[in-house]
Chains A and B, each alone.
Chain A
Amino acid sequence: MDMINLKIDGLDVSVSKGTTILEAAKELKIDIPTLCYIKKLNEVGSCRVCVVEIEGKRGLQPACVTNVSEGMVVSTANKTVRETRKNILELILANHNRECLSCPRNLKCELQKLCNEAGVDNVYYEKKALRSPVSASLSIVRDPGKCVLCGRCISVCANVQNVGVIDFAYRGPQTAVTTPYEQNLSENSCINCGQCIEICPVGALQEKDDTDKVWSAIDNPGLHVVVQVAPAVRVALGEEFGMPVGSNVEGKMVSALKRLGFDKVFDTDFSADLTIMEEGTELLDRINNGGKLPLITSCSPGWIKFCEHNYQDFLDNLSSCKSPQQMFGAVAKSYYAKRADIDPAKIFVVSVMPCTAKKFEAVRDEMQVNGYREVDAVITTRELAKMIKLSGMDFTKLPDGTFDGILGESTGAAVIFGATGGVMEAALRTVADILTGKDLQDIDYKEVRGLEGTREATVEINGMEIKLAIVNGTGNAAKLLDKIRAGEANYHFIEVMACRGGCINGGGQPIILDKSKTEEVRQRRAEGLYGIDRSKEIRKSHQNPEIKELYADFFEKPGSHKVHEHLHTHYVKR
């Protein structure tokens, strides 16, 4: 490989051709500050925070998009660079609604950190930002007054998610990131995935806060408030309290929820097991009876909306199963209401989700059982952390609690739902037992694990060959479906998660301050889930005793008429 020799801040370094100054400096453990830059995703060189001086070059150059050349002499922090960088940050701040104390991004804000480190102590100017006011959809809140116009959200939305509903508009002081015709995100093909929130360096994007709804339900003595928590929440919530990434805080989380005043603390893992019972049955039924294939999973509401907008010819391929969140709500307001002898009208179901799209899913017309909304309020991992902080608990010191019964038992198969490939693996564990009629012991389907955006595998069970694909990120899903449309690929079963990495990286998860660590954080959160799976005694959904009881008492068997009334749904063209 062609190596290039250069000097950065007086130190010699040799890097391969095509390396940027930013990357070359990293080799020397020099961190040139950046704001708009995200490696391979948003390399636009527009914020100018990373400018450096190159000997013999006029002006300063952006380190993030300038390639090294032989003999180059670079200064990353001399007087000119320091003063210029400070000027640039001050210019950004001058047009920024500075209200850190009440900002949802406080302490997880890249701009705040940059200004702090660059010593921007005083903003010289008087005039304030004149950008359009806050706008909120069911899932996403945009605050243009805090937008630094880095374009990261635009890149994620267009290039990772293939949605592309936001872009730059206007020029001069009016420059803004907005939607076509200034639509609210609820009115267009936004899939509510919240990946834009995760990538935003500042507080210009955040989830629609629904904690007030939850507080008032808890405060209402006439309501029986139950909460369910999705698998991916327990391996990320700890980050909000300074715990190591990937820590399993299930026990503390349950205690915290009980202290917050929920009447019952249940587990979405329970309904994830239920989903596997139904979806596994559906898969075998479609394979054996000439049904529509490939069967595509339906537990990611961002993905469902994406499909409803863009791949309507695949709507019949979607599993008719509701997602675990909705199955939980449906069971809570029917079976649980009956068993606990509570009027379903008095039951208020809250979900804690790693996902902003779940807020939208919960209010879809279809998501009702016997005329009741299945889920009444959805909060994200971040919002739960906020509630815990507000109530003054010392989270890291809480004792371990356990989930409440009849909707609280779960298996290792359920918890891995939170990582890409998890639903697939959970389904295989059950399908394999059904097909072989055995209690198989070799149940780690390593071939479907991993964080790559698209993975394929073929498994053979009892002579039946099942072709599988796993994709995460709707952009990857689009590519795969395009191939299927073109007749270049075919499968029996496809798992799709709207977010890269699956729910562990959902739009409601704790913000990763250092975006260059995103990949590593995903990895560790996923490891957290697989660790829980390994530690579980029961690791197959069909062996969950509460699930068995549910079928025996209420639903009869997977795929029954009653099941269809409660747990299955249909999709609409949008």
Chain B
Amino acid sequence: MEDIKILSARFGKIKPDSVEEYINAGGYEGLKKAVTMQQEEIIEEMKKSNLYGRGGAAYPTGIKWEQAYAVKKDPKYLVCNADEGEPGTFKDKRILAEDPLLLIEGMTIGAYIMGAKEGYIYIRGEYSAIQRIVKSAIENAKKAGYLGTNILGKGFDFDLHVVSGAGAYVCGENTALVESLEGKQGRPRQKPPYVKNCGLFQMPTILNNVETYSCIPCIVNVGGERYSSFGTEFSGGTKLLCLSGNVVNRGVYEIPYGLTIREIIYNLGGGVKDGKKLKFVHLGGSSGSCLPESLLDTRICYDDLKKNGLSLGSGAVLVVDDSNCVVDYLKAVMEFFEEESCGKCTPCREGNQRLLELLEKLSQGRGTLADIEKMKSIAQTMKMTSFCGLGQSAPTALVTLLKYFENEFIEHTAGKCANGKCSMNSKGVN
């Protein structure tokens, strides 16, 4: 397998906000080519590329852009989701910090297609130093004629603004992000209408993840078909994965679609740390599913994952070794969701609190089999009725761990935590 670096090629090799160094390292070829093409042509290439959104929901980007392009309403906006709030995810950070002009180029191509004059990059509040780098890159791109007015002398204008995130995980949800950009509370909106039809200031809006935009220059440059061929038949290109947890080599890796999870953990990641055994992998961040050893040979590509009831989410691969207890692990996950629920809808606001309550009972040795059934029932209600993706996916880890490790939960009802992680204080164990 060839070692393809599309997104990470310049990481650490150039001064991130230098247009000159960016161009010398192959930058802006995509935009230069794009402005010689028809808008529909570029969208066609994107569709051929099999590019799926890299923010988590994996919606086909070409189709999204085609639909937004077809909306006859002005002005249109471009928004970049750089909120990167999913635990275990730190890939957008690398692009923003080490090659922000790639993102800017991708958005500028988008603006050329949509005729958008204004774009926003909504960057996680904690990334304040990185916000400065991105702002500087924007200024430099303007000075060099790649952004601002009359871009590349082609008579189109596009300006970009950096907006600092409001500090809530839910602000990464696309409609909540738009609300937050409008200066309102970051709470999701009812869909439909969708952002592509009626987004920022009620105008058609293209909203994509940092990594998604960053794929566009290459797609334009090498063509959709060629780009797609880097990945599998149904999942085009490459993906940044964030390897973390009990693994030897943590970090961000750019991989072509098609590698197996095992290859990633053992070949790239150097295996489980401290010679321990792998217990499960939490894929796609806290909102993703947990898979056991037996599924490690699943390939990273949307179809194969889906067949096994998994999804890639943001690209987080968190390795959990066998010294961990599933109940204890889940408690931390559910604490996160309990706090991050925006509080708008009942199933998520209340459900997360109750799941945590029942997990705590289990961890204290007071849990019962009925509690386990109740957890399944609440999880199902949350999944089926929550207003947005946060509540719908919050119980995913719980549901999958219950599926693969139910015995361990049952043991807890008998007052036993094999890993010795739970205090079991009510029964005097430990």
Bound complex: CA A170 to CA B340 (Å): 10
CB pair B347–A59 under 8 Å, yes or no, is no
Contact of B384 among A45, A59, A125, A171 (CB under 8 A): A59
Query: What 3 pairs across the A-B complex have the smallest Cβ distances?
Result: A175-B343, A91-B350, A59-B384
Contact of B349 among A45, A51, A83, A172 (CB under 8 A): A172
A371 at interface by CB-CB < 8 Å:
no
Write the nearest CB–CB distance from B213 to chain A, whole angstroms.
28
Write the nearest CB–CB distance from B192 to chain A, whole angstroms.
9
CB pair A65–B190 under 8 Å, yes or no, is yes
Known pairs A48-B346, A48-B387; list 6 more (Cβ under 8 Å).
A62-B385, A80-B384, A87-B381, A88-B385, A126-B357, A173-B353
Q: Give the tally of cross-chain contacts (CB within 8 A).
A: 97
A-B contact pairs, 25 of them (CB 8 A): A44-B190, A46-B387, A48-B345, A60-B384, A80-B384, A83-B377, A87-B347, A87-B378, A88-B346, A91-B351, A92-B350, A94-B353, A125-B354, A125-B357, A126-B361, A149-B343, A149-B349, A171-B168, A171-B339, A171-B340, A171-B342, A172-B339, A172-B349, A174-B343, A175-B343
CB pair B342–A91 under 8 Å, yes or no, is no
- Please provide the chain B residues from 329 to 351 with a CB less than 8 Å away from any CB of chain A in the complex: 338-347, 349-351
B170 at interface by CB-CB < 8 Å:
yes
Chain B interface bracket (under 10, 10 to 19, 20 to 34, 35 or more) = 35 or more
Contacts of B170 in A (CB 8 A): 171
Contacts of A92 in B (CB 8 A): 346, 350
Bound complex: CA A91 to CA B346 (Å): 7
Write the nearest CB–CB distance from B367 to chain A, whole angstroms.
12
Write the nearest CB–CB distance from B412 to chain A, whole angstroms.
17
B419 at interface by CB-CB < 8 Å:
no
Contact of A84 among B190, B339, B381 (CB under 8 A): B381
CB pair B350–A84 under 8 Å, yes or no, is no
Bound complex: CA A173 to CA B350 (Å): 7
Most chain A CB neighbours (cut-off 10 Å) among B345, B351, B353, B381: B381
Bound complex: CA A65 to CA B340 (Å): 25
Write the nearest CB–CB distance from A282 to chain B, whole angstroms.
44
B91 at interface by CB-CB < 8 Å:
no
Contacts of B383 in A (CB 8 A): 59
A124 at interface by CB-CB < 8 Å:
yes
CB pair A88–B347 under 8 Å, yes or no, is yes
Bound complex: CA A95 to CA B356 (Å): 14
Q: A60-B385, A88-B381, A172-B341 are in contact. Are A94 and B350 (CB under 8 A)?
A: yes
Most chain B CB neighbours (cut-off 10 Å) among A60, A88, A94, A127: A88
Contacts of A174 in B (CB 8 A): 343
Bound complex: CA A95 to CA B343 (Å): 13
Contacts of A127 in B (CB 8 A): 353, 357
CB pair A168–B343 under 8 Å, yes or no, is yes
A47 at interface by CB-CB < 8 Å:
yes
Contacts of B347 in A (CB 8 A): 48, 87-88, 91
CB pair B357–A46 under 8 Å, yes or no, is no
Contacts of A48 in B (CB 8 A): 345-347, 385-387
Q: Mark A50-79, 1 if CB is under 8 A from B, else 0.
A: 010000000110100100000000000000
Bound complex: CA A354 to CA B350 (Å): 36
CB pair A45–B340 under 8 Å, yes or no, is no
Bound complex: CA A41 to CA B385 (Å): 22
Bound complex: CA A92 to CA B351 (Å): 9
- Please provide the chain A residues from 194 to 252 with a CB less than 8 Å away from any CB of chain B in the complex: none
B128 at interface by CB-CB < 8 Å:
no
Most chain A CB neighbours (cut-off 10 Å) among B351, B354, B380: B354
Contacts of B387 in A (CB 8 A): 45-46, 48
Closest A residue to B185 by CB, please name it.
A168
CB pair B349–A175 under 8 Å, yes or no, is yes
Contact of A87 among B185, B343, B352, B377 (CB under 8 A): B377
Bound complex: CA A83 to CA B377 (Å): 9
Closest A residue to B342 by CB, please name it.
A171
Contact of A46 among B338, B346, B352, B374 (CB under 8 A): B346
Q: Mark B347-376, 1 if CB is under 8 A from A, else 0.
A: 101111110011001000000000000100
Q: Mark A137-176, 1 if CB is under 8 A from B, else 0.
A: 0000000000001000000000000000001101111110
Bound complex: CA A126 to CA B366 (Å): 12
Bound complex: CA A443 to CA B242 (Å): 81
CB pair B385–A51 under 8 Å, yes or no, is yes
CB pair A91–B339 under 8 Å, yes or no, is no
Most chain B CB neighbours (cut-off 10 Å) among A46, A87, A127: A87
Most chain B CB neighbours (cut-off 10 Å) among A49, A91, A124, A170: A91
CB pair B340–A84 under 8 Å, yes or no, is no
Write the nearest CB–CB distance from B332 to chain A, whole angstroms.
15
Contacts of B386 in A (CB 8 A): 48
CB pair B343–A171 under 8 Å, yes or no, is yes
Closest A residue to B341 by CB, please name it.
A172
B187 at interface by CB-CB < 8 Å:
yes
Closest A residue to B370 by CB, please name it.
A124
Bound complex: CA A174 to CA B392 (Å): 20
Write the nearest CB–CB distance from A173 to chain B, whole angstroms.
5
Closest A residue to B381 by CB, please name it.
A87
Write the nearest CB–CB distance from B341 to chain A, whole angstroms.
5
CB pair B384–A84 under 8 Å, yes or no, is yes
Contacts of B385 in A (CB 8 A): 48, 51, 59-60, 62, 84, 88
Most chain B CB neighbours (cut-off 10 Å) among A45, A48, A84, A167: A48
Bound complex: CA A88 to CA B346 (Å): 7
Contacts of B346 in A (CB 8 A): 46-49, 88, 91-92
Bound complex: CA A127 to CA B355 (Å): 11
- Please provide the chain B residues from 152 to 199 with a CB less than 8 Å away from any CB of chain A in the complex: 168, 170, 185, 187, 190
Bound complex: CA A92 to CA B346 (Å): 7
Bound complex: CA A95 to CA B392 (Å): 20
Contacts of A95 in B (CB 8 A): 350, 353
Write the nearest CB–CB distance from A221 to chain B, whole angstroms.
53
Contacts of B342 in A (CB 8 A): 171, 175
Contacts of A44 in B (CB 8 A): 190, 344
Bound complex: CA A460 to CA B419 (Å): 90
Bound complex: CA A172 to CA B350 (Å): 8
Contacts of A47 in B (CB 8 A): 345-346
Closest A residue to B187 by CB, please name it.
A168
Contacts of A91 in B (CB 8 A): 346-347, 350-351, 354, 378, 381
Q: Mark B114-158, 1 if CB is under 8 A from A, else 0.
A: 000000000000000000000000000000000000000000000
CB pair B354–A173 under 8 Å, yes or no, is no
Closest B residue to A67 by CB, please name it.
B192
CB pair A94–B354 under 8 Å, yes or no, is yes
CB pair A46–B344 under 8 Å, yes or no, is yes
Most chain A CB neighbours (cut-off 10 Å) among B170, B347, B352, B386: B347
Closest A residue to B357 by CB, please name it.
A127
Write the nearest CB–CB distance from A362 to chain B, whole angstroms.
36
Write the nearest CB–CB distance from A178 to chain B, whole angstroms.
12
Q: Mark A300-344, 1 if CB is under 8 A from B, else 0.
A: 000000000000000000000000000000000000000000000
Write the nearest CB–CB distance from B75 to chain A, whole angstroms.
27
Bound complex: CA A175 to CA B358 (Å): 21
Write the nearest CB–CB distance from A560 to chain B, whole angstroms.
55
Closest B residue to A148 by CB, please name it.
B346
Contacts of B349 in A (CB 8 A): 149, 172-173, 175
Contacts of B341 in A (CB 8 A): 171-172, 175
Write the nearest CB–CB distance from A62 to chain B, whole angstroms.
8
Bound complex: CA A87 to CA B354 (Å): 11
Write the nearest CB–CB distance from A150 to chain B, whole angstroms.
10
Q: Mark A83-108, 1 if CB is under 8 A from B, else 0.
A: 11001100110110000000000000
Write the nearest CB–CB distance from B125 to chain A, whole angstroms.
15
Contacts of B338 in A (CB 8 A): 172-173
Bound complex: CA A91 to CA B187 (Å): 20
Contacts of A49 in B (CB 8 A): 346
Contacts of B345 in A (CB 8 A): 45-48
Contacts of A170 in B (CB 8 A): 343
Bound complex: CA A62 to CA B346 (Å): 12
Most chain B CB neighbours (cut-off 10 Å) among A49, A59, A83: A59
